[in-house]
Structure 1
Amino acid sequence: MPIIGVMGSGSSEWPDLAEPLGAWIAFHGFDLLTGAGRGVMLSTARAFASVPERTGRSIGIMPSKAHPLFGFAPIAGYPNPFVDLPVLTPLPRKETDDLESALSRNYVNVLTSDVVIALPGGKGTLDEIRLATRFAKPLICIGPIDAFESVPDGTRIASELDEVFAFIRCNTAANQ
């Protein structure tokens, strides 16, 4: 079953985009992968989980912090309550002051996804867009064009969800 990675803001939910996207992914039998946090991750996973009799799972790749007894522990607030399969990594979130080359859970998010969908977000989302480009993952962004000013040249930016849905269908047809 193909895994659709949805990346985006950890603070803004972008419900007009994230909710129909999450429901569509569930309705079509795909697995959903997010960073397991708030914002876009929460609203997409909540909509995904609301689809009755869905067959896919909501996978959440959680960042961690050092823990003296367990080695690593989830950061507070992770996973959100709509994650079916939480995956704790020994990797941190991408922080605003991190170098572009710093390792983070974003590598797991992108490399595990069969298709990457990016909604507006911050530095972490931009990092995931760059990683998807670097690793030749099928990638499409959705949202206002000015939300994607810093993406690599040639990045596909959609203005309508129907374009995203067609992109997912096209890039998963061989996997179904």
Structure 2
Amino acid sequence: MHEVTLGIGSNMPYRSMPPIDIVKAACAELRPLFVSFAASSLYRTQALYIADQSDFYNMVVCGAVREGLTPHDLLCEIHKIEAKYGRNRKKEVRFGPRSLDIDIELFGDMEIDDETLTIPHPRMRERAFVLVPFLEILKRRVRGDDDRGEVSLLIKKYGADLEKLSDQRIERCSD
């Protein structure tokens, strides 16, 4: 089984659902794809790249995906969930507002770069809205079973990246 990290975000309502509820619903829909699952708190973050848009609600989920689920299979499942909540990739502006965006940040130690998928996510380490919730989950694990120090090394690696992003506004909304 592979340990996977996903970033979830929304800054547009869909039908009667506000963005914060879309992120929570997407998290619940992703859960069955995992055999172990951890979700971060929910965060409100400023939009990056295109500033003239509403704030995003973001969270990260991590865990071991079901046996046999490949990165491309997972991407297909993610696209179904995104479409369910109104995402239309053909009509959206890159980095613009969206009802739901789910990114595969990490898939074990795999490296993929093809026409449909890049893993690790190429902008993961420049986004506080990914690193803050990811580090939150990692820090919970250190208190648990980090007998080989692997989680501690990840915290150092991604924590150093986060220090460079202090200009990005991010605030915790809920646990």
TM-score, L = length of structure 1: 0.29
TM-score, L = length of structure 2: 0.29
Q: Higher relative contact order at CA 8 Å, sep ≥6: structure 1 or structure 2?
A: 2
